[in-house]
Chains A and B, each alone.
Chain A
């Protein structure tokens, strides 16, 4: 089995230091996962192939799929910024329109069981199509302009032929979505100092302070309960949704009205995908907008903590600037220090004051900094 380097053209720019071995196995791709990660989940109807990954890479970076020709997937998920748009608080779409949520990193998104902060897409394939037609993201009226480009551009005609064996006119949005998702599945990160210490047995891979931070992470800090670490792998997410007291303070007194009006609009056919990014108040309803469940009001997805030190600002609304701010927020039991808002009644059951001292907060941050893969160190925001 030979390592196939050429298909990793753009991936290598960001993941060059990872021990990724893209291996051609009989009948398809097999990829050796970096230390600390489980087997990459790949849907049966969209197996990885070098041609599809290269095509997806190109689609991911193509700004022609936006109404003003300025926004591509990589605008908000910039590979030079650990696939985020750090340091923006919330993302900017076409004509510099601002949305309501902070761009989550694409790194390890392949391991999420749902996509978007509220999980409204169940796969990378489904997720990839939505920003193109969102009124504040790429702003297209529908997907026809995308299809016109990929069916007529000679480079894409060749690319889709190689990836899917289709001539230009037969290419569908399903193919576009699959190619983008295949590329995104290559953007994975493990092999961090933490992985080398915890899974690799290198006792010197992290500092003593970070080791103290780890004890807090799994103990008094209770972080591990949602940002999971298991025996042989660590995704740092439970793939669930929690109200952790962020953003809800902006709408707390208004929840009954907002919830009733949103449900009414949804029943009348309003698009959740468009509404949550266009209305900053409705956006804070979180997972409720998808499930209509009262116990998911203000709940958002547990994000991975991998590369967290290089993807500031934090939380779904980008409201916390530093990792220390984040730890302090949890330490207060789901309230940022000084926030005069009354206690959030929708708070998830696992969130409670932690009674961490200043030194312990610093230790926890030191531990979180060990979760950065070497390839992303240069992406750190200064």
Chain B
């Protein structure tokens, strides 16, 4: 089967080389004898739409999401579906969720969404669920089992009316170095649901799990952390091929724990630096071998972007669409048994940071 593809990663190689014309969409025969089709989906995340007053919203965050939607809509053929990775809102307001949802309504194709903590504080996710449905659920697509989790649950401080308003909850929880609430977690109830859900799935069915916070412990000080990560991982480990894709960290990260490959996605709002300067004993910061592409404060979109996720034999390749810089590709290396940078723009060929003024 051949079809025209205008995906930026492919066309960047040049029409003259003939790379425009084919997409490997062959049916892949897996070891257990089943067949499944390669496919792609779009991943947009962490837009942090912020209301200033009335109909006035922070322009920069709006522009990041608008641009991601506009670019993702240019993909031909259309991706199979679109994921939104959470933190659509910034201050946990209904107006922000509505404004963000209006922008997301322009995406072509089916939209799935992950709960972010900024979306949650309004009313513990009730209004978000009216827009996007259950906070955790699963679905099957072309031979892959997808699971969407809410990984930003905390010890329920607000049950005791400690922080009665959305804004208070946001202020207490959003601090980078000293969030006053408990660390994020998936929680016992959801883990039980996950166990039930996965019990029905063959262990050689590839899994792709979406969460907002990483289902691994990266850096507690910044809440780049899910407290019951090991318990969730234990439920995923029996499966032959497992991918976890998470937002929240606003940067490109990848990691391998046992059988589970982890990929982070970029934000459309702003990039975080990797917090290695904050590293301290017990932080369990995974080795980040490749630094984030340039982040130049002048160019608002720099080191932000969106992703195309290619699924091939159940393994994912993340194609990071970096604005103002070349695409970066992270994919699974079967020989090494972990994700690696397949295409990385070295400093010498990147667009240089502003050197004047």
The yes or no answer to A230 lying at the interface (CB within 8 A) is yes
Report the bound CA distance from A292 to B20 in whole Å: 11
Binding-face segment, B66-74, B149-157, B162-170, B244-252: B66-74
Chain A-chain B contacts (Cβ-Cβ < 8 Å), number: 84
The yes or no answer to A166 lying at the interface (CB within 8 A) is no
Binding-face segment, B8-16, B172-180, B278-286: B8-16
The yes or no answer to B76 lying at the interface (CB within 8 A) is yes
The yes or no answer to B341 lying at the interface (CB within 8 A) is no
Question: Are B8 and A293 touching (Cβ within 8 A)?
Answer: yes
Report the bound CA distance from A345 to B357 in whole Å: 27
The yes or no answer to A295 lying at the interface (CB within 8 A) is yes
Question: Are A347 and B70 touching (Cβ within 8 A)?
Answer: no
Minimum C-beta distance from B240 to chain A (A): 35
The yes or no answer to A229 lying at the interface (CB within 8 A) is yes
Minimum C-beta distance from B305 to chain A (A): 9
The yes or no answer to B139 lying at the interface (CB within 8 A) is no
B33-75: which residues lie under 8 A (CB-CB) from chain A? 59-60, 62-63, 66-67, 69-71, 73-74
Question: Are B67 and A347 touching (Cβ within 8 A)?
Answer: yes
Residues of chain A within 8 A (CB-CB) of B302 are: 349
A294-B71, A294-B74, A349-B299 are known contacts. Are A343 and B63 too (CB-CB below 8 A)? yes
Residues of chain A within 8 A (CB-CB) of B74 are: 255-256, 259-260, 294, 297
Report the bound CA distance from A353 to B63 in whole Å: 13
Minimum C-beta distance from A209 to chain B (A): 21
A248-271: which residues lie under 8 A (CB-CB) from chain B? 255-256, 259-260, 263-264, 266-267
Question: Are A292 and B15 touching (Cβ within 8 A)?
Answer: yes
Describe B's contact surface by its main secondary structure: loop
Question: Are B76 and A260 touching (Cβ within 8 A)?
Answer: yes
Question: Are A295 and B71 touching (Cβ within 8 A)?
Answer: yes
Partner of B12, one of A267, A293, A345, A353: A293
Report the bound CA distance from A133 to B139 in whole Å: 57
Max chain A C-beta neighbours (<10 A), residue from B73, B302, B351, B356: B356
Report the bound CA distance from A291 to B327 in whole Å: 13
The yes or no answer to A350 lying at the interface (CB within 8 A) is yes
Minimum C-beta distance from B133 to chain A (A): 26
Report the bound CA distance from A291 to B63 in whole Å: 23
> Which residue on chain B has the smallest CB distance to residue A231?
B356
A206-227: which residues lie under 8 A (CB-CB) from chain B? 218, 222, 224-225
Partner of A225, one of B12, B70, B73, B357: B357
Question: Are A350 and B300 touching (Cβ within 8 A)?
Answer: yes
Residues of chain A within 8 A (CB-CB) of B300 are: 349-350, 352
Residues of chain B within 8 A (CB-CB) of A224 are: 356-357
Report the bound CA distance from A294 to B321 in whole Å: 9
The yes or no answer to A274 lying at the interface (CB within 8 A) is no
Residue contacts A-B, CB under 8 angstroms, 27 given: A225-B298, A225-B354, A255-B74, A256-B73, A259-B6, A260-B6, A263-B20, A292-B11, A292-B12, A292-B15, A293-B12, A294-B321, A295-B8, A295-B321, A295-B324, A297-B74, A343-B62, A343-B63, A343-B66, A345-B66, A345-B70, A346-B67, A346-B71, A347-B67, A349-B63, A349-B302, A350-B300
